[in-house]
Amino acid sequence: MGLRLLILSLMFVVLLVSGCGKQPSDRVVDLAGFESQMLGQHSRYFQEQDHKLSWQQAARAFAQSDYPYGASESIALGIGTDPVWLHFQVNNPTQADAGIRLAVKTPWLDVIDAYIVADNTLIAHINGGDYLPFEQRPMAHENFAFEHGFSSGLSDVYLRVESLGPMAIPIELSSIEQAQQLDLGNAYRYGLLYGMLLALSLYNLLLYLITREKEFGLYSLYLAGFVVNSFSYTGQLHEIITADFGVHFQDWLDCFLMITYSVAGLHFARALLKTKNYAPVLDRVVVWTTIVFPLGILLGAIANQLVFSLLLGFLLNSGFATLFIIMGIRARQAQVDSANLFIIASVTAACCIGISTMAVAGIVPYNTYTFQAIEVGMVFEAIMLAIVLAKRFNLVQQDLAVAEKFAHTDPLTSVNNRRGFQQPAEALFNAAVANNQDVAVLLIDIDHFKRINDQYGHTVGDEVIQLAANCLANSTRKTDLIARWGGEEFIMLLNNTSQAEGRNFAERIRMSLAELRCNTPSGSVNFTVSIGAAGSNQWVCAGKNLNELSLAELIKCADSALYEAKKSGRNRVVELCDACPFTESPVAEK
C-alpha cells in the first residue's frame, strides 16, 4: 500500500512538472479584467556581478541584453547567491488607475526594492524585506507587499532582491479585492491547520503526562515544533515578534526551528518503532544525525555563517524525510505492528515536502496549493501517526490491564490475592455502611495443611489449595468477594449478609469441602477446614454499630473466631461472640 501511495504521489508531481513548461503567449501583463497571476514567466532577470546597480543601470542592462524569462511561476536561484534584478511590464488599457497589489510570496528575503517606471520616469520606489522591523514595512503583511494604482498605458516594474537565504522569488500580482480574499483564505487554512496540529500536540502531551510513555511526549514536541516552524517560515511569527533583531533574524530563527522539529521527529520515530531492538546501526545513524547537524548549525551561528547553517538545515530536513521512510521499511521487515501505517504517513509527507520544495525552487508551478503541500502532508502524517499512537496506547492499556490483573490475582488459584481483595473489599464495606446493610467476613483455613505437604509433597498441597479455591469461588455470589489470604488461608466478604447468615453459609462450605477428594498415585486425599465468622446483626457487631468499625477490625474479629475454631478441635465454624478484642489473635498450629 505504501508503494502504491508513493507511485501516485510521484505521478502527481510529474503532472505538476509537465504543466510548468507552458509559456504565456504574451509576456506583458494585461490588467483588463485582471484578478491574480504569478509573474515568473513574465519576468526577465539577471544577477549583479561586481557592484550594486541603480534602477537606471538595471533598465539599460535589460534594454541592451536578451536576459532570459523565468521558466516557471517562481524564479529560484539557490542559497547565498548574488543579488538579482527582475523586470516585467504591466499594461492598463483603461483610463482609470488600476488598484493592484504586488507581493513576493517568500517572507524570508532580506532586502527588496521595487521601482515602478512609466515613460522612463520613476513613479514609485518601495523598499522592504525582512531586514526591516515589521512596522516599517510597506504593508502590515508577512510578505513583501504593496498596493499601487497603475496609470493608463504601459508601466515597467523593476525588482532588486538581495538575500543570503534561499533565493526563491514567486511574484504575485493581484487586484486588491482578490488579494484580500486570498489573504482571508490563507488565514482560514492556516487556522484550521494549526488548530488540528496543536490539538493533537496537546492531546499527546496529556497522554505522556498520564502514561509517561516517551513516544507521546516526543510526538507532541514534534507537532508543536512543526507548527512553530511553519508559523516562522510563512512570516506569520514575525507579525508577533516585531522587534528589530537584525537583518538575518528571521533566517536564523527559521534555521533553528527547522532542526527542532526534525530532531524531535527522528527521536519520536526511534521510540515509536523501537529501532534500537532490531536495527542498532540505523538507530545509531539517526542518533548521530540529530547530534552532528545541530552542532554544525550552532557552530555556523557562532561563526556567523548563515549560508553554511542553512545548507546544513536543508540537508537535515531532507535526511529527516529520507530516514523516516528507511526506518519505516526496516520496521516492516522486523514485523513491527505499526510499520505499515508509518510508511504510508512518511512517504506521503516526504512527497508533499518535495512538492513544496520544488515549488519554491521553481521546478513545479508555484501557487498556494503547491507551497502549502508540506502542511497538507504534515496533517495527513499527523492523522496517520495519531492512529498509530492510538493503537499503541490501546496496547499499553491492555498490557497495564493484564499487569494489573496479575498483580491482584493469585497465580495458583486465579482468585484475588490480598492486594486484589483490599480495594474492592473496602468499597463493598463502605457501601454496606452507607446503605445500613449487614456484612459478614469468613476466614477459612485448611486443617493440618503442613502434614499434607510433608506426607504427599507440595504438588498435592497445591492441588488441595486449588480444589478449595474452586469450591469457594463456585459458592459465592457475584456481589461477594473471595481471596487467598495467606498460604492455606482464604477470606470471604459477604455482601448484605448478617453474621448469623454468614455462619450458616460457612457451615455449608465446611461440609462441601470435607467431601472433596484429591487423587494421588498413593490414593485419594481428603481435608477439612476451620472457619471463623464475624459480622453484624441488624447493623451491630460486638456491641458497636457497623459505622463505628473498620473492615480491618472486622477481619481481626473473624481471625479471633478462626483461632477459637482451631483451638477447639478444627473442622468447625466458630462465630464472633458478643465481645471481640479487635486485636491480632495468636497464630494457631497449622
Active-site residue among 142, 162, 215, 488?
A: 488
- For the chain, the straight-line distance linking the first and the last C-alpha, in angstroms and rounded, comes to 66
Give CA–CA dist 200/359, Å, rounded: 28
Phi, then psi, of 463 in degrees rounded to 5: -65, -35
Contact 525, 460 (CB under 8 A): yes
Q: For residue 584, indicate whether it is catalytic.
A: no
Which three cell numbers mark 158?
Answer: 523593476
In 144-213, which ranges are continuous DSSP H helix?
176-211
CA neighbours closer than 13 Å in the CB half-sphere of residue 93: 7
What residues are paired with 121 via a beta bridge?
Answer: 118
Contact 482, 492 (CB under 8 A): yes
Residues 6+ apart with CB under 8 A from 19: 364, 365
Give CA–CA dist 176/116, Å, rounded: 17
| Burial group, residue 66, by CB count within 10 angstroms (0-12, 13-18, 19+) | exposed
Residues 6+ apart with CB under 8 A from 304: none
- Using the structure block, give the residue that is written with the C-alpha cell 508551478: 365
Positive or negative: CA dihedral 281, 327, 252, 78: positive
Active site residues: 488
